Structure 1
Amino acid sequence: MTDITISHQPEQQRFVLTQGNAEAVLDYTLNGSSINFHHTFVPPEFRGKGLAEKLVRHGLAWANTQQYQVHASCSYVQRFLR
């Protein structure tokens, strides 16, 4: 299995999980002290491997350390907020 890298790209307001040549993306928007995770994209070759979960958990952990009030309009991310 190729190494997995998760990077934060604050200027694009997203987290990117890279494995090989493919990228999964978690997009967010900031509004004051609130963050809204609004879009998750996982390429077909990543699906069913738990990589989206790793990406979302990474983004949520970062948001919590920044003390943002977390919201999710993305249905996938909403599962982790229940």
Structure 2
Amino acid sequence: MAEVKLQLAERGRGAFYLYEEGEKAGEMVVGISGTTLTVYHTEVDPRFEGRGLAKLMLEEMVAYARTNKLTVMPLCPYVHAQFKRHPELYNDIWKQ
């Protein structure tokens, strides 16, 4: 079963790392400054594509943002497309 872990370094830079079958399967690179969480890049290893794992990382990031009262700036094309496609799901956290 897939597992997502957030690792942040000093100055709020880090990533949500996705692990599947005991190995790193993807990452969502983020930065947090003040009350804004910026998503820069989302990537899933080609061996794990087609399993909905990018969506799983998106859901974890959104849950983290809501829990921590952050707005999200989706610079990542994947996240931006999801926010645009489903604004009803993300309007409360979307920094436009």
Q: CA deviation at 1:24?
A: 0.6
Unaligned runs of 5+ in 2: 85-96
Corresponding position of 1:18 = 19
TM-score, reference length from structure 1: 0.86
Corresponding position of 2:89 = none
Percent identical across equivalent pairs? 25
Structure with the larger helix share: 2
SS of the aligned residue for 1:64 comes to: helix
TM-score, reference length from structure 2: 0.75
Please give the alpha-carbon distance, in whole angstroms, between the structure 2 residues aligned to 1:63 and 1:56. 11
Q: CA deviation at 1:62?
A: 0.6
Aligned residues: 80
Deviation by residue 1:2-22 (Cα, 9 ceiling, x = unmatched): x21111112252111101223
**More deviation, 10-19/37-46:** 10-19
Letter in 2 for 1:18: Y
Q: CA deviation at 1:23?
A: 2.4
Unaligned runs of 5+ in 1: none
Corresponding position of 1:7 = 5
What is the root-mean-square deviation of aligned Cα atoms in Å?
1.3
Please give the alpha-carbon distance, in whole angstroms, between the structure 1 residues aligned to 2:52 and 2:29. 18
